[in-house]
């Protein structure tokens, strides 16, 4: 009979491969033997979250319950608090996002200056449209570590949302120096360059995003706008015909 560690490794592999139902069965087998096994509780929580994506959001609350159960043994376990915050963000529900901010603040009380918690908090503040707060947290991240792309990225998103395009481009340029493969940053950088009439640079930035993610529909939409602005209507029409369903990346 496989040990708990072996079963856990199998379950985690199945989850990572997208076989959520099979993973959940193995997590259940572990939890029958060790009801408080925290790695199994967290693994099952994630499997339920992603299974909910495939069906509907009905399993989200059940999934979050497993993260809460994992915290019962030690409510100050920063690793599990991080997992819980990320799970709350993953649900996409505003009520859960507000809770995620509270969890991030709990982490920051335990570990002041925790960059991971600050980054998660910035991502939620941006999603909630709290752009000034997002900029403030982005600045905190950059004071702690100026070489993190996430600090520049989220600050840039917030500045973009406030129509402060020159400042946003400067932040995106910094982020891309640190991580040149940020497709969404490249795409939105291109959109802003188009607003300044820098069409060739805009198209180059968007094309780079599409090299990284060929099916990135938002970038294709931006490319169509740039091609139209350049008077390349036939190319724009061809791009329209190639459009996949739109999926926004932040």
**Res 215: pLDDT:** 87
Cβ within 8 Å of residue 6, ≥6 positions away:
none
Extended beta strands in the chain, E state = none
User: Two tokens at 237?
Assistant: 């029409």
Contact 82, 119 (CB under 8 A): no
**Res 213: pLDDT:** 94
Determine the distance from the C-alpha atom of residue 204 to the mean position of all C-alpha atoms in its chain, rounded to a whole number. 25
**Res 53: pLDDT:** 57
Structural domains of the chain sorted by starting position, each given as residue range(s) with its CATH number in brackets: 1-72 (1.25.40.10), 74-176 (1.25.40.10), 180-250 (1.25.40.10)
Contact 101, 120 (CB under 8 A): no
Contact 7, 26 (CB under 8 A): yes
| pLDDT < 50 positions in the chain | 55, 248-249
Segment 44-60, tens digit of pLDDT: 999 999 886 554 555 68
**Res 3: pLDDT:** 87
Segment 87-137, tens digit of pLDDT: 999 998 898 999 999 999 999 999 999 999 999 999 999 999 999 999 999
């Amino acid at each position: 009979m496989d040990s708990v560690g072996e079963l856990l490794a199998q379950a985690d592999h199945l989850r990572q491969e997208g076989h959520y139902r099979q993973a959940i069965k193995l997590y259940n087998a572990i939890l029958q033997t060790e009801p408080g096994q925290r790695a199994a509780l967290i693994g099952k929580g994630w499997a339920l979250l992603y299974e909910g994506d495939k069906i509907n959001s009905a399993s989200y609350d059940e999934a979050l319950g497993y993260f809460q159960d994992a915290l019962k043994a030690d409510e100050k376990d920063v690793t599990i608090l991080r997992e819980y915050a990320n799970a709350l963000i993953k649900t996409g529900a505003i009520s859960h996002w507000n809770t995620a901010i509270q969890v991030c603040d709990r982490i920051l009380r335990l570990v002041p200056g925790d960059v991971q918690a600050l980054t998660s908090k910035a991502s939620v503040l941006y999603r909630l449209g709290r752009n000034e707060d997002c900029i403030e947290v982005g600045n905190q991240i950059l004071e702690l570590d100026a070489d993190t792309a996430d600090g520049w990225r989220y600050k840039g998103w917030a500045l973009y949302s406030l129509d402060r395009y020159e400042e946003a481009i400067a932040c995106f340029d910094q982020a891309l120096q640190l991580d040149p493969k940020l497709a969404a940053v490249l795409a939105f950088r291109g959109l802003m360059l188009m607003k300044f009439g820098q069409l060739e640079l805009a198209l180059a930035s968007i094309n780079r995003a599409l090299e990284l993610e060929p099916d990135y529909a938002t970038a294709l939409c931006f490319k169509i706008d740039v091609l139209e602005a350049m008077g390349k209507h036939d190319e724009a029409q061809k791009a329209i015909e190639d459009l996949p369903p739109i999926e926004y990346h932040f």
